[in-house]
Amino acid sequence: MAAGGAGGAAAAAAIAAMIQATKAMGVIVKMEPDQWRRLLDRVGTETLIVRGTRRVFRTYYQYLFSYRGLAFYTETKEEMNLPGSIESVNAKNIWLPG
């Protein structure tokens, strides 16, 4: 019974850590690149884009912006051509929980 109690406590601790990570990062909405781009076009040029890359056998381009309290994320195999009027910053990479 003690082993089950220790396993339950470990599971509860893992869930608590996930909840804390979500609180720290907010809600991240992962979208297909075309959906993400359409939303960006609706938001306009007053947003900040965070750009990063992920390398797993090839390079993937990552994009993230915030709108109405949510973070919208997409990843592409080809670099996106963003409007020059939109401010962007480069991140070493963008890490998503889970």
Maximum average pLDDT range among 1-10, 27-36, 79-88: 27-36
Domain boundaries, the chain: 26-90
Rounded to the nearest integer, the mean pLDDT of the chain is 80
Residue 82 CB neighbours (<10 A): 14
Amino acid 41 reads D
Cβ atoms of 25 and 71 closer than 8 Å: yes
- For 26-90, the fitting CATH number among 3.50.50, 3.30.530, 3.30.720, 1.10.3820 is 3.30.720
Mean pLDDT score, 74-86: 88
Taking only the tens place, the pLDDT of each residue in 31-49 is 999 999 999 988 877 788 9
pTM over 0.75: no
Asked whether the predicted pLDDT for residue 1 surpasses 50, the reply is no
Residue in 35, 42, 44 with CA at minimum distance from that of residue 63 = 35
